[in-house]
Amino acid sequence: MIRSKIIITFLALFFCGGVVFSQDDTTTVKKDSVNIALLESYNKRLLEIENQRLADSVQKSNLEEQLRALKTTDNLKKEELQAQLEAINAKEKNRLLGKKARIDSLKKTTKGFPVIGFFNDTLFTLYSKLGSFSPKDRAQAINKKLENLGNAPKFDDTSLKIENAETTYDIVWSETIIMSITETDAIWNNTSKEELAQEYKSILTAEVIRYKEETNYFNIAKKIGLALLVLLIIIALIKYISKFFDYTAVKIQSQKDKKIKGVQIKNYTLFDADRQINVLLVINKVLKWLIILLAIYIALPILFGIFPWTEHFASTLFGYILNPLKNILLSFWNYLPDLVTIIVIIIVFRYILRGIRFLKDEVAQGNLVLTGFYRDWAEPTYQIVRILLIAFMIVVIWPYLPGSDSPIFKGVSVFLGFLFTFGSAGSLSNVIAGLILTYMRLFTIGDRVKIGDVSGDVIEKSALVTRVRTAQNEIISIPNSTVMSSHTVNYSIDAPEKGLIIHSTVTIGYDVPWRKVHEALIEAALRTEFVLKEPAPFVLQTGLEDFYVAYEINAYIREANRQGGIYSHLHENIQDVFNERGIEIMSPHYRAGRDGSTTTIPEVYWPKKPKTKRD
């Protein structure tokens, strides 16, 4: 029998890949020092109680003997003995109740010592000592005796017997006591000694019979054949999986420039055909090995499950996949109410944002007029309200997020908040300045402005900067905080309705009548393109200097963005009109002598002399 066990074990290890796992059964209990100390403390106390019980039992026997020896007329003595006997019975009852309460409290923290079967599975667990044997010693002794039962040539379901000893029930095979069940064992299992003995007898008998059935030559040969069949199936499966993916690789290569033409996003080629084929081939190869490894991983538990010695390996391997999946599904199921709550909150806030966006569009289009609220405020106000609502939604959802109350989650949140606060300190001032500029309505996109020393057209307003295109086609980015701290001139804001006044100054000598100068300046302004006839241009005399008079022409225009060209045309027209009218323009640092020198008016504007007969 020993030789057959060695052969069986060798074959089982050979056909299971020669893998030996040193792993305890999943239900085997760890026997740590705390557990042993608890049991030793309890068993010490139990020994004291047992000694007291034996003393009480002897006293009880003596009292019963005295009661039987009393004469029927001695009632007083009889009542005294009867009272002592009842006190002992009450004490015994209280002892049992106390013992049970103590055991019930130990069940929450104490772990017993298992009796292991032939195939490394736990048959039952022992907690109490018996005489000088600790629970650990009892479990080890039963395991050794169980091995002897497995080697017994003749064993059936009637081989084990139960004998009632004075204080125990013994499970006996032939002349050997396999184990004894005490009152404490019964209390640990919430049953009686007889019922527990019957249960343990059935477990031990079934284990021995199962072992003999599993280790007979016919079953071993059948399991070896089954293992060989599983190995052949695995090899064939791997072979056909490889062939299938080799076929798909050839198929992928044959589709070059047919169905596989590369990946293009608008005008950008992300992958050309060759690169896309290489990527698909790599994916094909990775999938091939993943499926092969998965097939082997699924086949190994099946192979291990064929032999009873390695059967627990199968549950272990399956547990590596099934336990995480089960935990994921259970976690998802438990989280489902919170997930539904989050979805409802998101839907509610989404429709609230839709309603606010509808109001924003109505205000922006002018369909809804709010007193004191301008149309260009609609978009930034909507964005502010949207951010606030999203932030409030996150605050509402936060407690329902998985792990939101964990220290790690809180630490990451604090760290991100720290980074945002200190990392955006400079940018935050620009964002706030941008919001203030929006509601101050200093300018809009397309306005001609002057911000500090920068003049040009506003082409962009963002949360951080304002961008201006100058007359020289330069793009200048000005931080919003700088715009707030600078003075801003807006040339366009009133130009469409009231008109923008352009002006230029000329200096003319006192010898020219001022009315003539006024007429010339007004005519020059009216000749200039984009200058309005209504309101009409007008002239201001801004100074009576030592050698000349300063005249300022003022004219209305609506195209504020064309100031440079309009000013140039105005100056051209002033020169032409003044030259046509014979008026010399005396700039602040230019004087003309009247000693017969040539006038400053170009010759082309001189009046033509009449031809003489000599000519």
516-537 pLDDT, tens digit per residue, is: 999 999 999 999 999 999 999 9
Q: What angle is formed at CA 472 by the lines to CA 471 and CA 476, rounded to 5 degrees?
A: 85
Measure the CA–CA gap between 495 and 514, rounded to whole angstroms. Answer: 30
Please compute the mean of the pLDDT values over residues 342-366 and round it to a whole number: 91
Question: Hey, what amino acid is at 568?
Answer: S
pLDDT tens readout for residues 535-588: 999 999 999 988 889 999 999 999 988 988 999 999 999 999 998 998 888 766
The fraction of the chain above a pLDDT of 70, given in percent, is 73
Helices (H) and strands (E) in the chain, counts: 16, 15
pTM of the model: 0.45
Tokens of 547: 């050698």
Q: Please write the tens of the pLDDT for every residue from 200-237.
A: 889 888 888 887 777 777 777 787 888 888 889 889 99
Pairing of strands 448-451, 268-271: unpaired
- Please tell me the predicted confidence (pLDDT) of residue 576: 92
Residues sharing a CB contact under 8 Å with residue 1, sequence separation 6 or more, in sequence order: 150, 151, 153
CA distance 222 to 213: 12
Structure tokens at 582: 């014979």
More confident residue, 248 or 149: 248
Instruction: Indicate the helix (H) or strand (E) that contains 311.
Output: helix 311-365
pLDDT digit string, tens, across residues 100-146: 666 666 666 667 788 888 777 788 888 877 877 888 888 888 888 88
Give the tokens for residue 557: 């225009």
